[in-house]
Structure 1
Amino acid sequence: MTTSLRPCLWFHDNAEEAMRYYVGLFPGSRIEGIERYPDASLDRHFEGMAGKVLSGRFTLDGMPFTCLDGGPAFTFTESISITVACADQAEIDRYWAALSAVPESEQCGWCKDRFGLSWQILPAHLDELMTGPAAIQALMGMGKIVISEFPAADGEPRGQ
């Protein structure tokens, strides 16, 4: 499937490090290309950016992204996040361990990585786990989602 949509991620000065990290984490991922800032004498906006990423293109598990090193003018906020739909608890645990770097940002499956980007690490079947008020209450008490901690539809603990 081809899409014309491609989110762009603005990093302070570590776009290439982030691309390499994400590509190494998600199967079916690759860096497509990196253009670097030219010599600062070409434009005042390039001052101090020589060699940094002017435009990086990469794909994570089939989803295309663009990124750049833009300096400190803008930072990531939780208003934008990337959702990872996980097949099972082992996959949740793997992505959570790799991406969660800011404990105070963890809630309901949301975490923030070492680059400041927010992620939602969720079971692909979350809708099936959300069986009523007890399930919502369980979710609200979680940082990392633990599937076995959701009550079953009959209200009994789900178990392992």
Structure 2
Amino acid sequence: MKVTQHLWFERDMDAAIKFYTSLIPGSKIEWVSAIPADNPSGPAGSVGMAAFTIGDQRYMAINAGPLDPFNHSFSILVECDTQAEIDRLWDALKEGGSTEQCGWLRDRWGLSWQITPKRLGELMMDPDPAVSKRVTEAMLKQVKFDISALEAAAKG
């Protein structure tokens, strides 16, 4: 069995998947197609489908007009090794979107992302509950994650 996430875009699916696959190494567009003119879903070219990967995750997408907007019940979490990776992805994805607390943002298409340092999970799993508590408190005050500030919080 294979599991694939499916995204429903109201508009600009082609631009969105080109953008997403340009950001994450190892990503690619597998195929893109338009629905034929005789399809009852809408006029020719109004609906499109695509298959792509972001990193090691498989996705399908449909561009089919408004239905249900993206919301926080589905997000893409990207775990980064360095602050430079966080900064690059954060800056690219927030353009035309909005940012939120704890490493969350919405891109210009409304899709939610979590841009998270790998180090955060390591610090939160520290066997000393005081370290985990300090890291959690620091995390809750951040919008875009700052690895050095999280590590400073861990040290107390």
TM-score where L is the length of structure 1: 0.84
More helix by share: 2
Question: Which aligned pairs between 1:24-63 and structure 2 lie closer than 5 A?
Answer: 24-39=22-37, 41-43=38-40, 45-47=41-43, 50-63=44-57
- The residue type paired with residue 65 of structure 1 is Y
Choose from 118, 122, 126 the match for 1:128: 122
| Percent identity for Structure 1 against Structure 2 | 40
Moved >4 Å (runs of 4+): none
Instruction: Give the 3 Å change call, closer, same or farther, for CA 9–37 of structure 1 in structure 2.
Output: same
Give the whole-Å Cα distance in 1 for the aligned partners of 2:22 and 2:10: 21
Q: Which amino acid aligns with 1:16?
A: D
Q: Which amino acid aligns with 2:102?
A: C
> Residue 14 of structure 1 contacts residue 69 of structure 1 at CA under 8 Å; is this kept in 2?
yes
**CA-CA distance at 1:154 after TM superposition:** 3.5
What is the deviation of 1:129? 2.5
1:62-77 → structure 2 map (5 Å cutoff): 62-77=56-71
Q: Secondary structure at the match of 1:129?
A: helix
Unaligned runs of 5+ in 1: 156-160
Match of 1:158 in 2: none
- CA displacement 1:6-61 (0-9 Å, x = unmatched): 1010000211111111111111111111121211x442x224xx224432001111
TM-aligned CA deviation for residue 88 of structure 1: 0.9
Give unpaired runs (5+ residues) of structure 2. 125-130
C-alpha distance in 2, partners of 1:99/1:88?
Answer: 17
Q: Does 1:141 align with 2:141?
A: yes
Counterpart of 1:98, as a letter, is: A
Change (3 A) 1:129 1:70: same
Q: Is the 8 A contact 2:94 2:107 kept in 1?
A: yes
- Number of the residue aligned with 2:85: 91
Cα distance in 2 between the residues matched to 1:140 and 1:134: 10
Q: Equivalents in 1 of 2:116, 2:34: separation in Å?
A: 35
Match for residue 100 of structure 1 among 82, 86, 94: 94
TM-score by length of 2: 0.86
How many residues were matched structurally?
A: 148
Question: What is the CA distance between 1:152 and its match in structure 2?
Answer: 4.4
